[in-house]
């Protein structure tokens, strides 16, 4: 091989550092002006860009709309129906979270029909699901004067795996003096988080976060049908046997506390969970170079759970197992510390 | 996509079942010896495998039919072949009543205990079944058979009805009606391979008017051999398609618009509007779907049409496809209709063989072919967007509308969905023109309508009458009230319809007249109840039906159907919380929320019949049973 050829193949690294001849600076294409759509919400005229949802159009006017299954970072599934609004010309109410604005729409967000449906949805949920760790839902219940006790006291809890094995198209006759619920034993099958499906309102958020909207892991999906519909792994196998990668993004989006850090669950069981005594510290995860924002929830100078802000440009609320759960090294678990102290005292 | 599978492996029979749908795997890596468990990277993965997701339902059918249940190993293998996450496949498998993900005997009797059969001996039959075979769902350890209750099997003209499914190398599905305990026992014993001659001969009774010159939609019933294309053509078959191809697509669509044909599936949407929208869509491919998932309790007209005149359905679908520019048609056929499946399969094959389907229909430059997809026991899949999800291999959960199917339908493409009865009307529209068609019936309800008469009526069956015929005339056409002769109520439109009292029989059967009295023609159900029937039990069955069939996606329907059933049980047992008036008020509020806030028609109509009975018949004021 002639030496020239050998030389020409070689480009010293430093050459890349030399200024490259410049052409015109590329410009981002100008944003094509979105056509504005005019519509009326609660008697007030407004104009919003095409593609806006009724939810956002209403928010623009300062009108609050309750939502449960909606989250900015997820594809709207419009299943909870608590955001329904009245649309003139529509036979049924429409979900504000996913219905796009159309010219000339006449929308009412606080009509008696709207209030009744919202109230009923909240009653349906609160009479069938344990909403004790869902403060947002409880606030809506106050606002809409929901009375879940109208349907009778809660019925008996299902024993282990009964709901997991429900057969589509068949159900037992209802108990006469009580309202059926989804109460069932808590699923504790790993050290990092628990699944308490007695608290599940089936908002599909965890399924979306586990699937195409964030993690693409597909460890959980909705199984079964009707009132027996449930979030499940295949054949309801425990999480360690499933595709779960313990990113905890499902916990991050769960609105009712059905998915909960093991640390929070244990502290609640022990009666030591005290949100009033907790502080949040924002920091950056130090495990890798991505730079995920972490919100450390601290109680008694110990990390009790880790979230990531939904608004974070980097994470959009999502983390991986390391950021979410890899903080134990920061602190000696209290029990061990106590034992160590006891040991020290004993040896003295 | 990386698939994470559990360590369960399929047995040879399970693999063969899956491969029968997907063909044998191209790569030797997926085979008995090399089945990769645990962290599996399926060699067949990639876009090609994922594009086959729509075969998930056929694959699950194949496993269920071969084995009798879907085991973890079988599901793993199906997932690996299709690159579907096992949890999603499990979610699909657990959605359908005809699939089991728990070990189950291979031979199963499904005994109808729905409202039409209830009035005709289902209770006795179920009691006898329990006596002979144990409680529903139970099976002796080594038994190879079991039984359970079933929602309406769509054979209401011959109650009581049952269906026997037998899994194995030669699986069978046998519909039995009318049926007694001994016949079920015999069918269970010989695994469904009973001589089916009896079934065919009794089907004659399904159309009591058969042979009458006045019939239009049903004119070929009993006059042709439903298994023979030549026989169909001899009776004028395929002249409509010829005419349509001569006219050209634009003119056919204009005729359908001019006919003012309204959808016969229950929603009464103008067919011409759908056809226009799909025909003018700019996207290709587009799809044409014949909705044959008839599951509304008391409805059996589409089954009878498919059984007695299957080529008419094929011809009508071809006209629809050609007129709207759809190259591919699907017929989504109810899983519980074995004879209809057999005859439609045969009709499609014969039509294809004769060049009436395929790359150039009747020699014209019009490609159109039809594929049958079977339902698997889910009423909700008759809802058009749930039907799309079902075909695509997802759970049969309805989608939010808009966007409407004519823009974003099956596989996200513009899709034309018509019911079986709606479609066969198109044959006469193509032949006679839309204006001639519109001259029949009334101004707003054009043409003739098929009604399904069942319950306490002298000659139950499918009847065809022009719109405008009164309920009374229709009932007398069917021989009048049977049972004890004292009519208590008529259920019009099905479980999602309305109860009418004997004082309302002068009602003309049109979309507009029923609407003014707060009723609906629905799917054409006319079910009669004499005054020996305990209407409270009928309502309880309807409430149980909707609870069972709710897909569970949206809160109003998922929980509302449960609360509705509980409320009715409390009212019937006289164990109300507070006063009766209080409970009825609550029942109406539950109904209102379901009607207003549910995603789809199931939830929106789940309270309709119940509320109508409570209001019109004053059921809980001591004035009736």
Q: Tell me which H or E stretch contains B257.
A: helix B249-259
CATH assignment of the domain containing A70: 3.10.20.740
Q: Is the pLDDT of residue B623 over 90?
A: no
Q: Which residues of A touch B378 (CB under 8 A)?
A: 168-169, 225
* Cα nearest neighbour of A150 on chain B: B577
Claim to verify: residue A215 and residue A139 sit in the same structural domain: no
Residue B222 lies inside a defined structural domain of this protein: no
Interface of B with A in 580-619 (CB under 8 A): 586, 589-590, 592-593, 595-599, 604
Of B495, B530, B565, the one marking the end of a domain is B530
The half-sphere exposure of B136 on its side-chain side, counting CA atoms within 13 A, is 16
Residue B489 lies inside a defined structural domain of this protein: yes
B192: phi > 0 → left, psi -120 to 50 → alpha, else beta; which? left
Residue B191 belongs to what domain range? 107-196
Span B23-77, pLDDT tens digits: 777 654 544 434 444 334 444 556 777 789 999 999 999 999 999 999 999 999 9
Mutant choice from B40, B536, B552, B569 vs A, greatest count of A C-beta within 10 A: B552
Do A227 and B569 make contact, defined as CB atoms within 8 angstroms? Answer: no
The rounded percent of chain B whose pLDDT value lies above 70 is 93
The residues, any chain, with a CB within 8 Å of residue B342's CB and separated by 6 or more, are none
Give the count of beta carbons closer than 10 Å to the beta carbon of residue B176: 28
Q: Is some CB atom of chain A closer than 8 A to the CB atom of B94? A: yes
Distance from CA of B69 to the nearest CA of A (A): 13
Claim to verify: residue A87 and residue A197 sit in the same structural domain: no
Claim to verify: residue A267 and residue A205 sit in the same structural domain: yes
Residue A201 belongs to what domain range? 193-347
pLDDT of residue B624: 38
Q: Quick check: B567 and A133 in contact, CB under 8 A?
A: no
Nearest CB partner across the interface for A81, out of B554, B563, B586: B554
Of A99, A118, A150, the one marking the end of a domain is A150
Q: Is the pLDDT of residue B337 over 50?
A: yes
Interface of A with B in 58-87 (CB under 8 A): 78-82, 84
Mutant choice from B135, B593, B605 vs A, greatest count of A C-beta within 10 A: B593
Residue A103 lies inside a defined structural domain of this protein: yes
Residue A31 lies inside a defined structural domain of this protein: no
* Cα nearest neighbour of A171 on chain B: B548
Mutant choice from B597, B604, B608 vs A, greatest count of A C-beta within 10 A: B597
Residue B443 lies inside a defined structural domain of this protein: no
The backbone torsions φ and ψ at residue B56, rounded to the nearest 5 degrees and listed phi first, read -60, -45
Number of Cβ pairs < 8 A linking chain A and chain B: 198
Mutant choice from A112, A124, A204 vs B, greatest count of B C-beta within 10 A: A124
Residue A156 lies inside a defined structural domain of this protein: no
Q: Which residues of B touch A152 (CB under 8 A)?
A: 566, 570, 577
Q: Which residues of A touch B549 (CB under 8 A)?
A: 169, 225-226
Q: Is some CB atom of chain B closer than 8 A to the CB atom of A41? A: no
pLDDT of residue A5: 45
Helices B239-247 and B420-432: angle between axes, nearest 10 degrees: 70
- What is the ipTM score, two decimals? 0.94
Q: Is some CB atom of chain B closer than 8 A to the CB atom of A225? A: yes
Mean predicted confidence (pLDDT) in B213-228:
96
d(CA B196, CA A340): 79
Claim to verify: residue A143 and residue A248 sit in the same structural domain: no
Q: Is some CB atom of chain A closer than 8 A to the CB atom of B53? A: no
d(CA A314, CA A322): 16
Residue A41 lies inside a defined structural domain of this protein: no
Mean predicted confidence (pLDDT) in B126-151:
88
Q: Is some CB atom of chain B closer than 8 A to the CB atom of A112? A: no
d(CA B160, CA A323): 62
Mutant choice from A169, A204, A224, A228 vs B, greatest count of B C-beta within 10 A: A169
Claim to verify: residue A71 and residue A208 sit in the same structural domain: no
Claim to verify: residue B504 and residue B481 sit in the same structural domain: yes
Claim to verify: residue A217 and residue A324 sit in the same structural domain: yes
Q: Is some CB atom of chain A closer than 8 A to the CB atom of B86? A: yes
- Reduced to 3 states (helix: H, G, I; strand: E, B; else coil), residue A336 is helix
Claim to verify: residue A225 and residue A89 sit in the same structural domain: no
Of B530, B563, B590, the one marking the end of a domain is B530
pLDDT of residue B193: 73
Residue B102 lies inside a defined structural domain of this protein: no
Residue B208 lies inside a defined structural domain of this protein: no
Q: Is some CB atom of chain A closer than 8 A to the CB atom of B579? A: no
Claim to verify: residue B266 and residue B392 sit in the same structural domain: yes
Do B560 and A120 make contact, defined as CB atoms within 8 angstroms? Answer: yes
Q: Is some CB atom of chain A closer than 8 A to the CB atom of B137? A: yes
Beta-bridge partners for B176: B162
Give the C-alpha distances (Å, rounded to integers) separating A124 from A68, A279, B24, B557, B573.
Answer: 13, 34, 49, 10, 22
d(CA A277, CA A299): 6
Residue B504 lies inside a defined structural domain of this protein: yes
Nearest CB partner across the interface for A116, out of B550, B593, B599: B593
- Reduced to 3 states (helix: H, G, I; strand: E, B; else coil), residue B361 is helix
Claim to verify: residue B472 and residue B385 sit in the same structural domain: no
Claim to verify: residue B140 and residue B172 sit in the same structural domain: yes
Interface of B with A in 454-473 (CB under 8 A): none
Do B597 and A225 make contact, defined as CB atoms within 8 angstroms? Answer: no
Give the C-alpha distances (Å, rounded to integers) separating A204 from A80, A230, B202, B396, B552.
Answer: 9, 10, 48, 15, 11
Distance from CA of B39 to the nearest CA of A (A): 9
d(CA B20, CA B63): 10
Claim to verify: residue A201 and residue A324 sit in the same structural domain: yes
- Reduced to 3 states (helix: H, G, I; strand: E, B; else coil), residue B526 is strand
Residue A82 lies inside a defined structural domain of this protein: yes
Of A120, A150, A180, the one marking the end of a domain is A150
Of B395, B412, B438, the one marking the end of a domain is B438
Claim to verify: residue A212 and residue A326 sit in the same structural domain: yes
d(CA A220, CA A238): 11
Query: Per-residue b/e over B371-385, b at no fewer than 16 CB within 10 Å?
Result: ebbbbbbbbbbbbbb
* Cα nearest neighbour of A243 on chain B: B4
Claim to verify: residue A213 and residue A119 sit in the same structural domain: no
Do A93 and B597 make contact, defined as CB atoms within 8 angstroms? Answer: yes
Q: Which residues of A touch B589 (CB under 8 A)?
A: 116, 120
Q: Which residues of A touch B89 (CB under 8 A)?
A: 234
Cis-peptide, bond into residue B402, ω within 30° of zero: yes
Claim to verify: residue B352 and residue B248 sit in the same structural domain: yes
Q: Which residues of A touch B95 (CB under 8 A)?
A: 168, 223-225
Q: Is some CB atom of chain A closer than 8 A to the CB atom of B88? A: yes
Give the count of beta carbons closer than 10 Å to the beta carbon of residue B63: 28
Claim to verify: residue A204 and residue A331 sit in the same structural domain: yes
Tokens standing for B536? 């409270």
Do B599 and A237 make contact, defined as CB atoms within 8 angstroms? Answer: no
pLDDT of residue B195: 55
Handedness of CA B416, B418, B420, B425 (dihedral sign): negative
Residue B99 lies inside a defined structural domain of this protein: no
CATH assignment of the domain containing B460: 3.10.20.600
pLDDT of residue B27: 58
Residue for token pair 């955001």 = A83
Torsion of CA A243, A248, A252, A254, to 10 degrees: 50
Q: Which residues of B touch A218 (CB under 8 A)?
A: 1, 85, 87-88
- Tell which residue, A301, A347, A308, has the closest CA to residue A325: A308
Q: Which residues of A touch B85 (CB under 8 A)?
A: 211, 218, 221, 243
Give the number of domains in chain B.
5
pLDDT under 50 in chain A at which residues?
1-6
Do B85 and A242 make contact, defined as CB atoms within 8 angstroms? Answer: no
Q: Is some CB atom of chain B closer than 8 A to the CB atom of A240? A: no
pLDDT of residue A8: 52
Claim to verify: residue B497 and residue B544 sit in the same structural domain: no
Interface of B with A in 524-563 (CB under 8 A): 544, 547-556, 558-563
Q: Is the pLDDT of residue B17 over 80?
A: yes
Give the count of beta carbons closer than 10 Å to the beta carbon of residue A156: 10
Distance from CA of A257 to the nearest CA of B (A): 18
CATH assignment of the domain containing B564: 1.20.1440.230
Residue A21 lies inside a defined structural domain of this protein: no
CATH assignment of the domain containing B286: 3.40.50.11540
Q: Quick check: B319 and B240 in contact, CB under 8 A?
A: yes
Claim to verify: residue B382 and residue B251 sit in the same structural domain: yes
Nearest CB partner across the interface for B400, out of A98, A219, A220: A98
Claim to verify: residue B293 and residue B434 sit in the same structural domain: yes
Claim to verify: residue B425 and residue B500 sit in the same structural domain: no
Give the count of beta carbons closer than 10 Å to the beta carbon of residue B478: 23
Tokens standing for B179? 């049926």
Q: Which residues of A touch B553 (CB under 8 A)?
A: 79, 229
The residues, any chain, with a CB within 8 Å of residue B581's CB and separated by 6 or more, are none
CATH assignment of the domain containing A321: 3.30.70.20
Do A152 and B395 make contact, defined as CB atoms within 8 angstroms? Answer: no
Q: Looking at chain B, how many residues does it have? A: 625
Claim to verify: residue B273 and residue B350 sit in the same structural domain: yes
Claim to verify: residue B331 and residue B410 sit in the same structural domain: yes
Span B417-448, pLDDT tens digits: 999 999 999 999 999 999 999 999 999 999 99
Give the number of domains in chain A.
2
Claim to verify: residue A265 and residue A325 sit in the same structural domain: yes
Q: Is the pLDDT of residue B595 over 50?
A: yes
Q: Is some CB atom of chain A closer than 8 A to the CB atom of B378? A: yes
Q: Quick check: B161 and B176 in contact, CB under 8 A?
A: yes
Span B355-407, pLDDT tens digits: 999 999 999 999 999 999 999 999 999 999 999 999 999 999 999 999 999 99
Claim to verify: residue B472 and residue B434 sit in the same structural domain: no
């Amino acid at each position: 091989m002639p030496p020239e050829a050998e030389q020409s193949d070689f480009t010293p690294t430093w050459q890349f550092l030399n200024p490259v001849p410049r052409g015109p600076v590329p410009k981002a294409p100008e944003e094509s002006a979105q056509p504005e759509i005019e519509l009326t919400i609660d008697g007030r005229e407004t104009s919003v860009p095409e593609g806006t949802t009724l939810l956002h159009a209403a928010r623009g006017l300062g009108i609050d709309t309750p939502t449960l299954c909606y989250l900015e970072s997820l594809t709207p599934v419009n299943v909870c129906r608590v955001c329904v609004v009245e649309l003139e010309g529509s036979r049924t109410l429409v979900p504000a979270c996913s219905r796009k604005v159309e010219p000339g729409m006449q929308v009412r967000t606080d009509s008696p029909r709207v209030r009744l449906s919202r109230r009923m949805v909240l009653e349906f949920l609160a009479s069938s699901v344990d909403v004790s760790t869902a403060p947002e839902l409880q606030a809506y219940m106050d606002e809409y004067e929901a009375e879940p006790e109208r349907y009778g006291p809660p019925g008996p809890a299902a024993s282990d795996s009964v709901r997991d094995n429900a057969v589509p198209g068949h159900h037992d006759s209802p108990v006469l003096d009580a309202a059926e619920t989804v109460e069932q034993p808590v699923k504790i099958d790993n050290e990092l988080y628990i699944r308490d499906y007695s608290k599940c309102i089936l908002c599909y958020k965890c399924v979306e976060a586990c699937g195409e909207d964030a993690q693409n892991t597909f460890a959980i999906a909705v199984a079964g049908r009707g009132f027996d519909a449930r979030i499940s792994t295949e054949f309801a196998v425990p999480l360690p046997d499933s595709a779960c990668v313990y990113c905890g993004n499902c916990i991050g989006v769960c609105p009712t506390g059905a998915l909960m850090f093991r640390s929070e669950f244990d502290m609640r069981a022990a009666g030591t969970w005290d949100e009033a005594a907790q502080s949040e510290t924002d920091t950056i995860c130090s495990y890798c170079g991505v730079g995920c924002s972490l919100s450390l929830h601290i109680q008694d100078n110990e990390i009790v759970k880790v979230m990531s802000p939904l608004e974070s440009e980097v994470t959009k609320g999502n983390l991986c197992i390391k950021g979410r759960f890899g903080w134990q090294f920061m602190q000696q678990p209290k029990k061990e510390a106590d034992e160590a102290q006891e040991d020290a005292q004993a040896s003295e | 996509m990386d698939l994470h599978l559990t360590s369960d492996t399929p047995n040879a029979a399970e693999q063969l079942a899956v491969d029968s749908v997907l063909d044998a795997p191209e790569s030797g890596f997926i085979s008995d010896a090399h089945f990769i468990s645990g962290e599996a990277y399926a060699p067949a993965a990639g876009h090609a495998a994922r594009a086959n997701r729509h075969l998930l339902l056929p694959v699950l059918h194949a496993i269920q039919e071969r084995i009798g249940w879907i085991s973890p190993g079988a599901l793993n293998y199906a997932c690996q072949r299709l690159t579907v996450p096992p949890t999603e496949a499990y979610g699909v498998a657990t959605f359908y009543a005809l699939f089991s993900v728990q070990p189950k005997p291979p031979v199963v009797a499904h005994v109808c205990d729905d409202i039409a059969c209830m009035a005709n001996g289902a209770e006795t039959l179920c009691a006898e079944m329990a006596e002979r075979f144990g409680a529903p769902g139970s099976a002796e350890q080594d038994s190879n058979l079991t039984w359970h209750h079933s929602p309406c099997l769509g054979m209401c003209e011959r109650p009581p009805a049952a269906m026997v499914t037998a899994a194995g190398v030669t699986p069978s599905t046998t519909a039995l009606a009318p049926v007694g305990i001994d016949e079920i026992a015999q069918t269970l014993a010989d695994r469904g391979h009973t001589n089916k001659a009896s079934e065919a001969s009794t089907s004659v009774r399904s159309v009591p008017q058969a042979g009458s010159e006045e019939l239009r939609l049903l004119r070929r019933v009993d006059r042709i051999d439903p298994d023979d294309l030549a026989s169909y053509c001899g009776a004028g078959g395929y002249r409509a398609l010829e005419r349509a191809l001569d006219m050209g697509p634009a003119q056919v669509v204009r005729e359908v618009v001019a006919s003012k044909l309204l959808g016969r599936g229950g929603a009464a949407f103008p067919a011409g509007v759908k056809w226009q929208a799909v025909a003018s869509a700019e996207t290709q491919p587009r799809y044409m779907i014949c909705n044959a998932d008839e599951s509304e309790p008391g409805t059996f007209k589409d089954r009878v049409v498919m059984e007695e005149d299957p080529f008419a359905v094929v011809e009508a679908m071809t006209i629809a496809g050609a007129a709207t520019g759809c190259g591919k048609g699907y017929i989504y056929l109810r899983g519980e209709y074995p004879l209809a499946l057999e005859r439609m399969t045969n009709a499609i094959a014969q039509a294809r063989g004769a060049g009436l389907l395929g790359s150039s229909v009747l020699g014209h430059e019009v490609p159109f072919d039809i594929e049958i997809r079977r339902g698997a026991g889910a009423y909700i899949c008759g809802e058009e967007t749930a039907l799309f999800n079902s075909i695509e291999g997802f759970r049969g959960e309805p989608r939010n509308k808009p966007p409407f199917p004519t823009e974003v339908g099956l596989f996200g493409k513009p899709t034309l969905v018509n019911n079986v009865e709606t479609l066969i009307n198109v044959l006469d529209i193509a032949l006679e023109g839309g204006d001639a068609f519109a001259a029949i019936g009334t101004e707003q309800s054009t043409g003739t309508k098929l009604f399904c008469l069942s319950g306490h009526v002298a000659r139950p069956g499918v009847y065809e009458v022009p719109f405008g015929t009164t309920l009374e005339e229709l009932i007398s056409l069917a021989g009048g009230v049977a049972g004890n002769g004292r009519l208590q109520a008529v259920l019009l439109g099905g479980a999602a319809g309305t109860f009418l009292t004997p004082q309302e029989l002068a009602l003309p059967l049109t979309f507009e007249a029923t609407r003014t009295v707060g009723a609906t023609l629905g799917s054409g159900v006319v079910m009669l109840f004499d005054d020996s029937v305990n209407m409270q039990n009928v309502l309880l069955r309807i409430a149980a039906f909707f609870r069972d069939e709710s897909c569970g996606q949206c809160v109003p329907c998922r929980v509302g159907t449960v609360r509705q059933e509980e409320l009715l049980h409390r009212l019937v047992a006289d164990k109300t919380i507070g006063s009766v008036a209080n409970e009825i008020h609550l029942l109406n509020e539950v109904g209102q929320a379901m009607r207003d806030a549910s995603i789809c028609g199931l939830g929106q109509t789940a309270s309709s019949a119940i509320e109508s009975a409570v209001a019109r018949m004053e059921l809980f004021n001591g004035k009736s049973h």
